[in-house]
Structure 1
């Protein structure tokens, strides 16, 4: 039985589904701003990073500005997803907005790369709290799945807009007002989020929380989740750049050990942070698998499509961004189309294999792309990938929310997001390691006996992306009597072949995901979640 915030039984007649259109719109608008906040930060900051590193003189910590954020967010998503099930989600959404705002201020005020990295880690905690709780607020507001799908379009639209304008906005802000402005731009969005969420989002709780429950929660489970995901994140970040070593091997061993201890501990704890029975549920388990596989393919494309276009084809960042934009923007288009179709289908599961099929088309397009292929063909492939993701992502969330018990909605929703990031980490590491190995072998083969001494410079594909470094290499090679331009073109050819192989792995993953969609039991959108009462 659902309960109100004071622990009293919630009358069914006063469920959140009876909220007026205006109240629902304003509440969802607050969640849309929250979603935009996370998406905007991820896309805007990337554009400004080269300028930040140049001013703060910390190139050795370049990757950690992103890694620190991912590391803390991937750890906090499942933890706060579970806490939201116990204490209601609104307090954590509000707290996450405050933490994100403070972290943004600290990032903008950073006077060293070390300070910036720690501030980004704090920002990741806020981002993880947001992702772990905000998405689970939707079923609290809309118990009916069909109604929920229609309202989720607004959130998907906010996400798509932020992803579309983020890179360009980051460039404009950096050039016009300096790199610190890319962090301060978060503040107006956080203010809007805080206003709408604080005023219009109801505080819904689904269980009575007895005094002392906080102390009895599974804090060891939370620590083990942090160690397992944290060590995995660090390992997959390091492996593509430095390969396997004693250090990365130790991190992987730590991941396995902590994961094993977590498994046995959660089986015996009365209030587990990670309810293992969800993996015994035939539908939830398959949805978790699909989220992992989808994250693998998505992150592999997002990480290495820009490298293919800029490093392999020699395009400018603007040209590469133009081709990649349909992938991100059309997620919103796919979500809108999906919402109209799924609500009319007797078997909504059919949208999942269609979505992975379209994602496969995008992967294959990248895996065979050459400089001779018309750009409009590549853009159509990216469009297919975006629409496919629009068919996959919202359906995984809605299907899981339809299947999970009411008291586990938060952790089930959070695990979908977290497993997508874990799949992305694994995909980026595996594909990146493959690309690195094939590229290095190709460069060695392309260099003659008299030019092997240039291998050290060409081994880093960033030379092919950075125009200044590339021109310096051509000048140095010419001064030594070698054809630098020809060596660069040979390296480009090696990089294109390596990325083709890496993206082909992602394409195979999408095929496997299409096959696994057959194992998802039929999901009915007619089931209406038990109404709840809010403050």
Structure 2
């Protein structure tokens, strides 16, 4: 008699951890390598697209994968995402231009959209509820571990090998993970009568893409292009709302937006995530372009924030037992104000240890805010809407990062263009070389101080925009009053 195969829980748990770790490393290691990539491919003006297109594709594909996982099962959807991520990584590694790299990041981002949400779903499937929180916490720790390893690994790869290997290392890891899930995850698929909101999904893609393209082209001399794109996004929004009202199984239920707490908490998550991408994407550029540090040290500047994020998340858990979410947000905003003012007031010759302190404070603010807004948005909805609420919270955070990285790119490019225009000896090609420590030495020594000042001014402007985001977050939180029912639910 043939024995029925069962899931090997330990092996699948390791596979899920490795998959989560792989995507966690991706963000920091690309930030570490970005100055070298810019120098190699001469693409400082397109730098933000490498981040934003990946984030946007991840955000857009996440809710679709959630629907498919209910229909087809977790295993095929998870493997499909891993295959796409691996193929995207291969194409990124083979890229010889910024355009090719950005297009490859589209594929990589679509694949990444399945990994995090399906990973948590698989954990929920194979572990009883009393063990689930501990395993989810263990899986989440991969982000903290990645924050320590990624800058060192990225720096080593860039300095000893080539930036192409930053993406190529995902290929063997991805293939091994696919094999582990394929062999050891056994699931009985129960087909559910769930439909995918194709019209809503398509309109959401059009809405976000046109909005981001419109923002990206604001610096274009032909103002007609961004105006048309933004108009398309507004029209798409109205059509999207109309269609979702009548959709049988809408990708984003509109009833959720009638809940004040849910709306405010997700807007707070969106704004703070916007500042987060500015912090993580441009601090390594500051370290390498202005301070002239190696890639490994430049990326390591953001590591304390990731470590303290994990610590702050645990702290948020205990605070939620005692206080309403809006009160905890005030605490987190204190740390974020200290963080952003620390970057705005930093002089051009600020030492490396100073940024480690700023990153430590930033991590506490990020950890408290994101954990609190996630729990609060879940607690603000009905039990049968928690899954949708969590997915929307993730979507808001990713949209915040996607849109703001476009805005930050415009701010930096405009500052550098105006700075270069003021001196006939400066060119944008020099700015590309300055950002890459390996090519900065090729620049005339007498021009370095002026070029560094231009880059310094540009990055400072990014954090002035970041300050506005934190101020808007504070104003939003003032609208959120203590809700006794919500407080009881979070206890």
Residue equivalent to 2:4 = none
Aligned equivalent of 1:294 = 272
Report the TM-score when normalising by structure 2: 0.81
User: Counterpart of 1:454 in 2: which secondary structure?
Assistant: coil
Give the alignment of 1:188-227 within 5 angstroms: 188-190=172-174, 193-194=177-178, 199=184, 209-210=192-193, 213-214=194-195, 217-227=196-206
Query: Is 2:361 the counterpart of 1:391?
Result: no
Matches within 5 A, 1:331-480: 331-339=309-317, 341-342=318-319, 344-345=321-322, 347=324, 350-438=327-415, 440-441=417-418, 447=422, 452-454=423-425, 457=427, 461-466=431-436, 473-474=443-444
Cα distance in structure 2, aligned partners of 1:491 and 1:32: 43
Q: TM-score, normalised by structure 1?
A: 0.75
Match of 1:479 in 2: none
- Residues 121, 371 of structure 1: CA spacing in aligned structure 2 closer, same or farther, 3 A cutoff? closer
Alignment-derived partner of residue 533 in structure 1: none
Q: Does the 8 Å contact 1:85/1:408 carry over to 2? A: no
Higher mean Cα deviation, 383-392 or 64-73?
64-73
Q: What's 1:157 paired with? A: 141
Q: How far, CA to CA, are the matches of 2:126 and 2:329 in structure 1?
A: 25
- Contact 1:234–1:251 (8 Å) recurs in 2: yes
Distance 1:454 1:177, change over 3 A: closer
How far apart are the structure 1 equivalents of 2:223 and 2:411?
16
- How far did 1:466 drift? 4.0
The Cα of 1:197 is off from its aligned counterpart by 5.4
Residue by residue, what CA displacement relative to the aligned partner does 1:292-317 show, whole Å, maximum 9, x if unpaired?
11111111222332333333444444
Q: Which residue of 2 aligns with 1:305?
A: 283
The answer to whether the aligner puts 1:514 opposite 2:485 as a matched pair is no
Does residue 252 of structure 1 match 2:230? yes
Say if 1:312 and 1:496, in contact at 8 Å, map to a contact too.
yes
Distance 1:462 1:179 in 2: 15
Q: Retained in 1: the 8 A contact 2:39–2:433?
A: no
> CA offsets, 1:371-407, max 9 Å, x none?
4545433322210111221222233333333344454
Q: Secondary structure at 2:346's aligned position in 1?
A: coil
Aligned-partner Cα distance in 1 for 2:80–2:408? 36
| Residue 285, structure 1, aligned to residue 263, structure 2 | yes
* Aligned-partner SS, 1:514: helix
Distance 1:458 1:123 in 2: 29
Secondary structure of 2:20 counterpart: helix
Q: How far did 1:154 drift? A: 1.6
Residues 1:77 and 2:55 aligned together: no
Larger Cα-atom Rg: 1
Classify the secondary structure of the residue corresponding to 1:370: coil
Contiguous gaps of at least 5 residues in structure 2: 1-7
Give the Å deviation of 1:103. 3.5
Q: Which residue of 2 aligns with 1:101?
A: 86
Mapped partners of 2:161, 2:291: distance in 1: 32
Which stretch of structure 1 is more off in the superposition, 493-502 or 92-101?
493-502
How far, CA to CA, are the matches of 2:36 and 2:152 in structure 1?
A: 15
Alignment of 1:185 with 2:189, yes or no, is: no
Shift of 1:442: 5.4
In 2, the alpha carbon distance for the partners of 1:89 and 1:352 equals 35
Q: Does 1:325 align with 2:340?
A: no
For 1:360 and 1:458, locate their aligned partners in 2 and report how far apart those are by CA, in whole Å.
Answer: 33
Residue 211 (structure 2) aligns with: 232
The answer on whether the counterparts of 2:155 and 2:296 sit within 8 Å (CA) in structure 1 is no
TM superposition shift of 1:361: 1.4
Q: Deviations over 1:55-94 (max 9, x none)?
A: 8899998766555533422321233234446666554333
Q: Would the aligned equivalents of 2:17 and 2:142 in 1 still touch at CA under 8 Å?
A: yes
CA contact (8 A) 2:329 2:369 kept: yes
1:233 to 1:507, Cα distance in 2 relative to 1, 3 A? same
Q: Which moved more, 1:400-409 or 1:117-126?
A: 400-409
Q: Secondary structure at the match of 2:424?
A: helix
Hey, what does 1:4 align to over in structure 2? none
Q: 1:363: how far off? A: 0.9
After superposition, the CA RMSD in angstroms is 4.0
Q: Provide the C-alpha distance between the structure 1 equivalents of 2:188 and 2:474, rounded to a whole number of angstroms.
A: 38
Q: Which residue of 1 aligns with 2:156?
A: 172
Contact 2:35 2:436 in 1 (8 A): no
The structure-2 alpha-carbon separation of the partners of 1:346 and 1:363, relative to structure 1 and needing over 3 Å to count, comes to closer
Deviations 1:212-269 (A, max 9, x none): x54xx321111111111222333444556x5774333332222222122111111122
1:33 to 18, 21, 25: 18
